[in-house]
Amino acid sequence: MTEVAAKTVMKLREMTGAPMMDCKEALLACAGDFDKSKDWLRKKGKQIADKASGREVKEGLVFAYAHHNGKVGVLVEISCETDFVARNEDFRAFCKGVALSVTAFAPAYLNRESVPAEALAKERQIVLEMTQESMKGKPQQVIDKAVEGRMEKFFAEKCLLEKPYVPDDQKTVEQMRELLVGKIGENIQVRRFVRLELGG
């Protein structure tokens, strides 16, 4: 069995923010490989997030952020299960990170489910017409695949949970939420946001 030095566990903890025992378990499972260990921790965080997703969230924060130039302001509502977690530093840092992401990207919707059916149907129709025009003569399954790819791009551009999380742009807001749920062990949900821009 592979032995893992305490320094190595600490380094992975600093990189991921995951609990020490989880970091050690990941390093042991991945024979000390950092990249594989990070992926292992992400998968574990997602599993914990999936299990927690059914639990009720009655606590949380409405977090306010005003950009340094005073021309953009954001409110985000993020819920959790207990007021203890709502006061947690990691939870508050996540709230701020989500607010920064809203400030930077001005998403139109929270997630895929919040895109109105009418707006979705209109976008799909436009994408279909553009794809059929640019891919004339191609088989229908190729066109369908291209349409789905362009719709994925639409969701990535318009939905907050699919935008890069500004403090760590290697992950999306949703991936950071899953990591935080995995770390804290409570259901955490981004409920809604408002972005105000001067003259907007």
Q: Taking Cα atoms as reference points, which of 48, 159, 8 lies closest to residue 98?
A: 159
Distance in Å from the first CA to the final CA of the chain: 60
Residues 6+ apart with CB under 8 A from 56: 81, 187
Assess if CATH 3.40.640.10 describes domain 59-110+159-197: no
Query: Given the structure tokens 């639990």, which residue do they identify?
Result: 55
As assigned by CATH, the class of the 116-158 domain is mainly alpha
In 35-157, where do the E strands start and end?
A: 59-66, 72-80
Which CATH number does the domain 6-52 belong to among 3.40.50.300, 3.40.190.10, 2.60.120.10, 1.10.8.10?
Answer: 1.10.8.10
75-133 confidence digits (pLDDT tens): 999 999 888 889 999 999 999 999 999 999 999 999 999 999 999 999 999 988 888 88
Which of 55-64, 70-79, 84-93, 173-182 has the least mean pLDDT? Answer: 55-64
- pTM of the full predicted structure? 0.70
DSSP assignment of 109-138, as one string?
BSSGGGS-HHHHHHHHHHHHHHHHHHTTTS
